[in-house]
Structure 1
Amino acid sequence: MKIDTSLTMPQLPEGLSKAGLQFTLATEEDFEDIMAMSKDIYGGLDYLPTRYTSWLQEANRTVILARKQGKVIALESVVVIDNGETMLVEGLRVAPQERGKGVAGVLLRFCSELVKSKFPEVKVTRLTRDDTLGPKDFQKYRIITKQGILLVRFRAEDLKQRLSELGLGGEIHSTNASPARLDHTAIHKLYLMSDVMQGVLPHATIIQDWQPFKILPSNMAILLKKDIDWMVDDVSVPTVASLCTFPFRVPIGDDWYYLNIDMFGKNLDLARQQFLCHLQRHTATLKGHVMCQIFLDPPLWKHMVEFCQSTLGVELVKEYTEQCVVESDVI
């Protein structure tokens, strides 16, 4: 489906206009072209192959492709959240031969204009990054919050053996309380019917698998449709909360999985408890290799690394990096 660019965005920069960029809505038929374009993203750990089809079905999400001479050279996904006030930008992909030519900026501008034409109440563009922000970034964006990123790797069978040896008590838990998994009723009560989560969440923001949401009923409706384990240390007065995305396959090889855990709060012991409970629940039926990514309060990162290496015996994949939620006003 071709989009009439003359109606939805300003004049393209001269160089790119001559290059003949065309913009189309993404379809299931474009899947193989997109995978070919982005096969080396994240060292083979790209989440897009797993998410692409579901993205096309999401309400308020627009997935746009940029084409050059009919060939897909870039992708951008934009979803409207926060009661229609925020445009969340995700999934930027640019073909290797087109990087550094300004294609990403033009594609984002096109997507922004298209979304504003459909959702005129949008006020803010928000995105989540894991690279180092430079002076130009600070001119464009303001930082909303940061989380440390801890990436570890292990064989599911080895971890299950280690967890069996340790148990879920004794030396691992220094308190008698066990983490509580939340059902939909409990989630509504904690997140929407009280303000107790305001002090637990960074900048009162739920960050789930790289997506930042304000605590609003419309956003909770989005989150509750997903396969997520919600957990807190105390259902009455929580200190630490976590959201665990169910494991999904990644195309790095056979029997490779990704497990993402978003952790909120500053108590190390309680964070470790919930981390262990998520690991035990979500690796019990897995066979093969698991890349586990934990997002947590930056001061906890070093201590959690020590716990992962010395107690669990898992491998640290990379040194400290940060997940930064940034935003800018829509003009």
Structure 2
Amino acid sequence: MDNNLVRCKRVTKEDYEKVMAIFPPSEIYNGGDYLPDEFHMLIDMPNNEMYAAVIGDKYVGFGLFTTVDDGKSVINRAGRVSKEYAGKGINRIMIKWMDKGGPLYRPEVLWHKTTVIRTHTPLLQLIIKGKYNKTLEQDFRYYETHKRTLQMKYNVIKNENQSLKAEYIDVNLLGQVLTSTVHQQYLFPEDEIVVAMVPYMASKSNAPLIISKRTTVVVSDLNCPQRTLLSISNFHQAPFGTVFNFNVYGCLSENIKEHLILHFAKFLCRPMSKYILLRGILSKGTSWKFLDSAVEEFDLKRTESYGTGLVSVRRRITSKL
């Protein structure tokens, strides 16, 4: 590919259709693509920037970059290349352009981070070669149901569990939890938390970035660090249905049922598709016993979907213009 044919530009809201036309969303993540639904929400967030690779007037590549960690880290959050230009170096051209002084590579940025599905071969090869260092790994498990079934089960279970120890927390309390030295070893031993495939340092400044208008945060046993359980959910409409992401940190126990009650209370008020896919996300090696048992009460069934886990990596940016 002749680099001179490709220009990189900042994406605006008016570019939505051109970005969606780069690659069929129904073929991304087995139909679980979040970008069509979240594009406008993400582009409005001050720490997100979107860029496109353009040949002539055709958009052939796309990248979503997120700044976190007090501006010290930039995450390559999403990327796609059109089928016509697959394997022709479009993504490499975009990354090289960013590395050579693109808008996100400002003087304060120290780290280039990303999170990918565990089986992403190109990134695994870069880890082996020492180009990136692994910072966190998590496991996935998928469950499926339908909105009507979940609503009926939720109503019954909520009525049977009127008194809950678990509670919602806001951005201020989340910031306190993220920086609590007594909780860190139990919740974030790697000093990192991943939400919506974005890796954040466990710092107070990241709390407002973690909580979007689609995010719910619940905690229990906060006064007993060894038993503290923190759960974070978000959702998006995908081509095949609604995807409900459920991240869990800390001591997974029977309390997870109370967490689900509170998360579903917020989730079921939203417009959604009839089909619902819940993705449970736990620290690598955590037993699924308690989550399996809890979701079974809500009549969610185990299923297979895209990926079995994720890997977060980073590399230090050593040179800039």
TM-score range, shorter chain: 0.7 to 0.9
**Aligned-partner Cα distance in 2 for 1:301–1:286:** 32
Comparing 21-30 and 236-245, the one that deviates more: 236-245
Shift in Å, 1:71? 0.6
The 2-side partners of 1:227 and 1:285 are apart by: 9
Deviation at 1:141, TM superposition (A): 1.5
Contact in 2 for aligned 1:180/1:234 (Cα 8 Å):
no
Q: Distance in 2 between matches of 1:155 and 1:224?
A: 26
- Cα distance 1:117–1:153, how it changes in 2: closer, same or farther (>3 A)? closer
State the partner residue of 2:96: 109
CA deviation map 1:5-28 (0-9, x unaligned):
xxxxxxxxxx3326x111111112
Residue 293 (structure 1) shift: 1.6
Structure 2, unmatched stretches of 5+, are none
Aligned partner of residue 241 in structure 1, secondary structure: strand
Supply the AA of the counterpart residue of 2:304. K
2:230 alignment partner AA: A
Displacement, 1:89? 0.9
Conserved 8 A contact 2:73-2:111: yes
C-alpha distance in 1 between matches for 2:91 and 2:20? 17
- TM-score w.r.t. the length of structure 1 is 0.81
Matched residue type, 1:144: T
How far residue 42 of structure 1 moved from its aligned partner, in angstroms, is 1.7
Equivalent residue in structure 1 for 2:35, among 48, 51, 62: 48
What is aligned with 1:263?
248
d(CA) in 2 for partners of 1:117 and 1:93?
18
Note the 1:314-329 alignment, pairs <5 A: 314-318=300-304, 321-329=308-316
Moved over 6 A (4+): none
Q: Which residue does 1:221 correspond to in 2?
A: 208
**What is the distance in 2 between the residues matched to 1:181 and 1:141?**
36
Change (3 A) 1:285 1:73: closer
CA distance change for structure 1 residues 263 and 323 in 2, over 3 Å: closer, same or farther?
A: same
1:202/1:295 CA distance change after superposition, 3 Å:
farther
Partner of 1:313: 299
Unaligned runs of 5+ in 1: 1-14, 171-175
Q: Under a length normalisation based on structure 2, what TM-score does the superposition of the two structures give?
A: 0.84
Aligned length: 308
- Structure 1 residues 68-123: Cα deviation after superposition (integer angstroms, max 9, x where no partner): 23210110111221112111111101112222222212212222333477511211
Q: Residue 283 in 1 paired to residue 268 in 2?
A: yes
Q: Distance in 2 between matches of 1:155 and 1:97?
A: 37
Please identify, of 88-97 and 260-269, the stretch whose mean Cα deviation from structure 2 is larger: 260-269
Q: Secondary structure at the match of 1:132?
A: coil
Q: How many angstroms apart in 1 are the aligned matches of 2:287 and 2:182?
A: 27
Aligned match of 2:192: 205
Q: What's 1:243 paired with?
A: 232
Residue of structure 1 in register with 2:141 after alignment: 150
Residue type at the aligned position of 1:200: L
Q: Which residue is equivalent to 1:159?
A: 150
Amino acid at match of 1:291: L
CA distance in 2, matches of 1:30, 1:116: 19
Which position in structure 2 is the counterpart of 1:298? Answer: 284
> What percentage of aligned pairs have identical amino acids?
17
1:73 aligns to 2:88 (yes or no): no
For 1:114, the aligned partner's letter is G
Distance 1:311 1:250 in 2: 25
Q: Which residue of 2 aligns with 1:7?
A: none
Whether contact under 8 Å (1:160, 1:280) holds in the other structure is no
- 2:10–2:50 CA contact under 8 A, matched in 1: yes
